[in-house]
Amino acid sequence: NAGVTQTPKFQVLKTGQSMTLQCAQDMNHEYMSWYRQDPGMGLRLIHYSVGAGITDQGEVPNGYNVSRSTTEDFPLRLLSAAPSQTSVYFCASSYSWMTNEKLFFGSGTQLSVL
């Protein structure tokens, strides 16, 4: 059972480039989310989805887009990368949108924007 799979593990971008971070889960989870982790700031929620076709903003959504066309996939798009987006990105999912459910995390994507 793969759980939550994130690709790529590492990525270096130049300012202004675009890219998509991939996230897939094979547990039929309703809820999926993206966090960024920065030193001293913990994890901050970027966007989340409570089901296919339904997304909403988290704490720090600016500069990021998401869509959810299937239950399994929840890609995160950076349209024009900025150095401030250098971070470690985690995708997380849970069985339902009920907030007492635990989150399952992927292993992360380390992104550097030069």
Partner 1 sequence: AQSVTQLGSHVSVSEGALVLLRCNYSSSVPPYLFWYVQYPNQGLQLLLKYTTGATLVKGINGFEAEFKKSETSFHLTKPSAHMSDAAEYFCAVSDHTGGFKTIFGAGTRLFVKA
Which of 6, 85 has the CB closer to partner 1?
6
- Shortest separation between residue 103's beta carbon and partner 1, angstroms: 6
Q: Which of 21, 23, 35, 66 binds partner 1 (CB under 8 A)?
A: 35
Q: Does 48 bind partner 1 (CB under 8 A)?
A: yes
**Interaction with partner 1 in 74-103: which residues (CB under 8 A)?**
90, 92, 97-100, 102-103
Both tokens of residue 49?
A: 């989805």
Q: Which of 86, 36, 40 is nearest to 59 (CA)?
A: 36
Size (the chain), residues: 114
Q: How many CB atoms lie within 10 A of CB 72?
A: 17
Q: Which of 63, 65, 66, 64 is nearest to 53 (CA)?
A: 66
Q: Which residue has the tokens 């924007």?
A: 113
Which of 34, 85 has the CB closer to partner 1?
34
Q: Which of 6, 46, 49, 11 is nearest to 24 (CA)?
A: 6
Q: Does 40 bind partner 1 (CB under 8 A)?
A: yes
Interacting residues toward partner 1 by CB under 8 A: 4, 31, 33, 35, 40-45, 48, 50, 56, 58-59, 90, 92, 97-100, 102-103, 105-108
